[in-house]
Amino acid sequence: MSSGAPAPATGAAPTPAIEATGLTKSHGTQHVLKGVDLTVPDGSVFALLGPNGAGKTTAVRVLATLTAPDAGTARVAGHDLRTARSEVRAAISLTGQFAALDERQTGAENLRMMARLGGLRRPAARRRADGLLDQFGLSDAANRLVATYSGGMRRRLDLAAGLVGSPSLLFLDEPTTGLDPRSRRTLWDAVRALSATGTTILLTTQYLEEADQLADRIAVLDSGRVIAEGTPAALKSRVADHRLDLTLATPAAYAALAPRAVHHSPETLTLGLPTDGTAPHIRALLDTLDPTRTTVTSFTVHTATLDDVFLALTSASPVPEPTHVP
């Protein structure tokens, strides 16, 4: 198995795990990727965020050599995506949205099979499987059929299976879809532990908290283009350091202030507006928005979240109308 990207020359900057420029991909008349640029630092956790249909899974499929781009260039794990596809595949692993496991085998048998397919002899395959079962807290269930595993256990076993070949770069395409909160957090711990060993992880997710918890850097993808990229803190500061949530007295008051908001909750007549969080700014904002002190019934202040970033940057639809009936 390949050990991944070539070691950089002494004193040189580390080679990024992924360098992609101008990637495009269409399916018939549908333009899914429209010139995507990505740089994923080696050893980092990088998250792709975006609404359904933004192109996240297509980007992963292109970078994992499952489908060819129509245009653009990329180097993955130090290898050219077009001319060194075999080398790329030897250095990466992909865990998709659904566990790819044989339910008629035990957890240990699944991992040993993967190891044997990867070229390990029986004793080495057994040792590799045992080590991964221990790493992911599955040793007690090693000899149980996968059909008896919970959803969280299956996802952990699927992640372990993706690591049998010791990849330098791991693609995780929405790995916690369908998991309960406890199982999701258990998988987060596994991803953190994996990152601590130096493995580069490219993660796509619909859970904004997941990206906030795990990612060193985030790219927001919308309609096939990267519209923002940076650390979670930097992206949140683009929207606001804090958010002032106002509950309005009437639907008319909600509609009047909605165009200024970055967060909308028409069901509760609540709007969120950016603020620096200081008392003078909040007082001034309230006086400007509600000079008669009859429009705002209550307010709260909290630190901006990735939800705010996501909604502010990907909002292409009209402001929703309030449905509250006083």
DSSP codes joined into one string, 145-205: BGGG--HHHHHHHHHHHHTTT--SEEEEESTTTT--HHHHHHHHHHHHHHHHTT-EEEEE-
Look up residue 197 and give its amino acid.
T
Q: Alpha carbon of 29 to those of 61, 128, 218: distances in Å?
A: 19, 46, 29
In the chain, how many H helices and how many E strands? 11, 14
Residue in the structure block whose two tokens are 């709260």: 300
Whole-number Å distance between alpha carbons of 91 and 42: 13
Whole-number Å distance between alpha carbons of 118 and 91: 12
How does residue 132 score in pLDDT terms, banded at 50, 70 and 90? very high
Nearest residue to 51 (alpha-carbon basis) of 271, 256, 220 = 220
Residue 30 neighbours by CB distance under 10 Å: 9
SS3 68: coil
pTM: 0.72
Tokens coding 22? 């101008």
Least confident segment among 140-149, 243-252, 255-264: 255-264
Tokens coding 43? 């050893």
Least confident segment among 109-118, 136-145, 231-240: 231-240
Helices (H), the chain: 56-63, 85-91, 107-117, 122-135, 151-162, 181-196, 208-214, 232-239, 251-257, 279-289, 306-314
SS3 306: helix
pLDDT tens-place string over residues 18-68: 999 999 999 999 999 999 999 999 999 999 988 888 899 999 999 999 999
Domain ranges (residues) in the chain: 18-230, 238-314
Nearest residue to 220 (alpha-carbon basis) of 95, 62, 59 = 59
Is 18-230 a domain of CATH 3.40.50.300? yes
pLDDT tens-place string over residues 186-211: 888 888 988 898 899 999 987 778 88
